[in-house]
Structure 1
Amino acid sequence: MSILSTLQEQIIIPDHYLQLSQEELETKVAEAKKRLGSRLFIPGHHYQKDEVIQFADTTGDSLKLAQVSGENTEAEFIVFCGVHFMAETADILTTEKQKVFLPDMRAGCSMADMADIDQTERAWTKLQEIFGDTILPLTYVNSTAAIKSFVGENKGTTVTSSNAETMVKWAFNQKERILFLPDQHLGRNTAYNLGVGLDEMAVWNPITDTLEYDGDYSKVKVILWKGHCSVHENFTVKNIQEVRKSYPDMSIIVHPECRREVVELSDAAGSTNYIINAIEKSEPGSSWAIGTEMNLVKRIIQSHPDKHIISLNPHMCPCLTMNRIDLPHLAWCLDRIEAGEDANIIKVEDNIANNAKLALERMLTFNN
């Protein structure tokens, strides 16, 4: 969802909600949840604030939350505490009888916005001219419904940070090359782990509409979209060097949305669930530096007082767009639902949803 469309859809909540105390807001949300009962379902992403996550009916990554929302057919109202593309995926996987709400329409994703459909269609045309019918498009689930739809229409599939290697292997059995949207770092790290050389990877720049590659195009196996996560790209080699110097025995674990050089120097890299599970299974007294979103890192620290855990980057801020969801917006959203008002509903057009669902189902069927 672009910045312009976000501003156009944004509804400013009444000042009254912003003036309530945290205790008053917590009471409003708790009472609304009680009144709505099983008609309401609140999925909360791992990166959400504690003030919001306390009211989540389930927590997890974006795809898991969308899937669980679709499975909960008893719930009429899905109030998605995450960002726009996640709520879109929930709408795609839920039934027509369910409505998906996003408490604050400003909760977008800078990475998802780095690949819009017009840019992608232009890129596809030019890449077809260069490479012919040898490319299969893949998109990280952290992308807009329109991009998922494009990928689905062109026989491709979605990937998660957990199954990216599996899906890229599958893709190479379909075509000679892949186009990986929209996160170049996850694409690069995944392909590298599968034995693709860095000299076999090109980068598509959607701003200049050019392929960034100095060698012979015939050697290209992976075309990486020039996008990134604004949080994970801020973990650096210097951060790792400082941890190694200050805490020589500390293990460093990062998300694969980090730069290649950061992943290379870390002790382990994996999805959010991989990181959570690794810390849970580690020995008491072990020490960890974690390279992922700050709200999650703080929650992990609180959950494991028997371990020494720090953020890999001590100056890292939480994901700003994820932090748009707060108690005032959640309370306001629930009030609007009880009043019968359709405010902040996320609805993906049928033609886009159908092809996006194809991309998702190819992945889900393969994983099953």
Structure 2
Amino acid sequence: MGLLDELTKETGVLPESITSLTTEEMENRVREIKRQLGKKLFIPGHHYQKDEVIQFADAVGDSLQLAQISAQNKEAEFIVFCGVHFMAETADILTDENQVVILPDMRAGCSMADMADIYQTEKAWVKLTERFGDTIIPLTYVNSTAAIKSFVGKNGGATVTSSNAHKMVEWALGQKERILFLPDQHLGRNTAADLGVSLSEMAVWDPIRNELIHDGDLDGVKVILWKGHCSVHENFTEKNIEEIRKNHPDMKIIVHPECRREVVEKSDFNGSTKYIIETIDQSAPGSSWAIGTEMNLVKRLINQHPDKTIVSLNPYMCPCLTMNRIDLPHLVWSLEKIMEGEPENIITVDEDTARNAIFALERMLARA
């Protein structure tokens, strides 16, 4: 591997052979490579990706859904995952050994997933089990690293999605007295509150200070929330809702449950990305909506529904910066490397980690 390839892999810097191309030339190159590789190539694209990438996706969806679809595509030798790192990891866990999962830009991470690393989690588990004994079951949002999924699987827990979080938290509370919910505190708090767990029965684990934050009696704690969040969804505020109510009193507000509790409480609807899309699709012509989720998706919904008035709940919201690392030039580059017989940015999860992560995923899927 040459120096230029090393730079591309580590920093996302692309060679001039890619950067000198026009948009039309890049689009034509992707179409040609897709034609040549046929069923050997599969490109899953997450809902939050740019349109310049989504136009070439063979399937569009949420992270777990895309990993499952990738696993079902047995003819696909190369899965070029247009999403972020943890999504590509899940695809590698679920796909066969002969299938290669590629992330077009290794810088495409997830700030939420990065807020819970395995070292912090293992340290937290020691302290929490010293305090509460064998009364805790771990759950992790699928927006987490393979190592965290593996930890949860090894300790009897399961993964959750924003679509099935209520069902999985309810299941977990039937298994043990307490839950450790990783890594998104807002999804955990919103879900538990919906199920009747009071805020006084929830504590927050601070991985930086390595301590449990709670004002009341620790013995009454039922849900331990990891102090993590989505950098996009946390930026929707009560003030945003107040502005919509004041200036557009007839507008409905729908948000993702990764938003803060007070935002979810004051919205009209809340639910997963799939739920948001389906709600807008099924809404009446002429209806008006303020949507609290990632901006690329909001813009796509605006374009898909010209018969409705749709705005972002936060007019100053930016798209997910890490998700936007995957762009047309990086997609072209990754496909070119496949054609050269030297695929780059291959995502590989080791066997032990994958095995325990599958336990966590299977416990969830058994109840889906």
TM tier, smaller:
over 0.9
The CA distance in 2 between the partners of 1:248 and 1:119, in whole Å, is 45
SS state at 1:366 partner: coil
Structure 2 counterpart of 1:189, one-letter code:
N
| 1:246 counterpart residue number | 247
| Aligned residue number for residue 192 of structure 2 | 191
Q: CA deviation at 1:8?
A: 8.0
Partners of 1:172 and 1:331 lie apart in 2 by: 47
Aligned mates of 2:38, 2:214 — CA distance in 1: 56
Q: Which consecutive unaligned segments of at least 5 residues does structure 1 have?
A: 1-5
Separation in 2, partners of 1:272, 1:119: 29
* 1:43 is the counterpart of 2:44: yes
Q: Residues of 2 paired with 1:40 and 1:58: CA distance? A: 12
**What fraction of aligned residue pairs are identical, expressed as a percent?**
72
1:18-57 aligned at under 5 Å gives the runs 18-57=19-58
Cα deviation per residue 1:49-93 (whole Å; 9 max; x = unaligned)?
000000000100000000000000010000000000000000000
Determine if the alignment matches structure 1 residue 255 to structure 2 residue 256.
yes
Deviation at 1:20, TM superposition (A): 1.4
Cross-structure match for 2:213: 212
Tell me the residue number matched to 2:367: 366
Q: Cα–Cα, structure 1 residues 9 and 349, in superposed 2: closer, same or farther, change >3 Å?
A: farther
What is the match of residue 304 of structure 1?
Answer: 305
Take 2:232 and 2:319, find their aligned partners in 1: how far apart are those partners?
Answer: 8
Look up the match of 1:313: 314
SS across alignment from 1:187? helix
Q: 1:10: how far off?
A: 4.4
Structure 2 residue 108 is the aligned partner of structure 1 residue 103: no
Q: Which runs of 5+ in 2 are unaligned?
A: 1-6
1:356 aligned partner: 357
Provide the C-alpha distance between the structure 1 equivalents of 2:198 and 2:39, rounded to a whole number of angstroms: 51
The aligned counterpart of 2:87 is 86
Mapped partners of 1:105, 1:226: distance in 2: 25
Where 2:212 maps in the other structure, the secondary structure is strand
- In 2: Cα distance, 1:93 partner to 1:138 partner: 19
Residue matched to 2:265: 264
Q: Segments of 4+ in structure 1 off by > 3 A?
A: 6-12
Is residue 77–residue 100 contact of structure 1 (8 Å, CA) maintained in 2?
yes
Amino acid at match of 2:275: Y
CA contact (8 A) 2:78 2:99 kept: yes
Instruction: Give the TM-score taking structure 2 as reference length.
Output: 0.97
Where does 1:127-276 land on structure 2 (aligned, <5 Å)? 127-276=128-277
Question: Are 2:8 and 2:15, in contact at CA under 8 Å, matched by a contact in 1?
Answer: no
For residues 319-361 of structure 1, give each alpha carbon's deviation from its aligned partner in whole angstroms, at most 9, with x where no partner exists.
Answer: 0000000111100100101111131000001110110011001
**What residue identity is the alignment partner of 2:18?**
Y
1:124 partner amino acid = W
Shift, 1:365, TM fit: 1.5
CA contact (8 A) 2:12 2:107 kept: no
The corresponding residue for 1:3 is none
Q: Residue 367 of structure 2 aligns to a residue in which SS?
A: helix
SS at match of 2:366: helix
The 1:104–1:224 alpha-carbon spacing in structure 2 relative to 1, beyond 3 Å, is same
2:140 partner amino acid = T
- Residue 105 of structure 2 aligns to a residue whose secondary structure is coil
1:205 to 1:314, Cα distance in 2 relative to 1, 3 A: same
Is contact 1:7–1:106 with CA below 8 Å preserved after alignment? no
What SS is found at the alignment partner of 1:59?
Answer: strand
State the 1:119 CA deviation.
0.1
Q: 1:18 offset after TM fit, Å? A: 1.7
Q: Please say if residues 43 and 58 of structure 1, whose CA atoms lie closer than 8 Å, have aligned partners that are also in contact.
A: yes
> Aligned to 1:328, what secondary structure does the other structure show?
helix
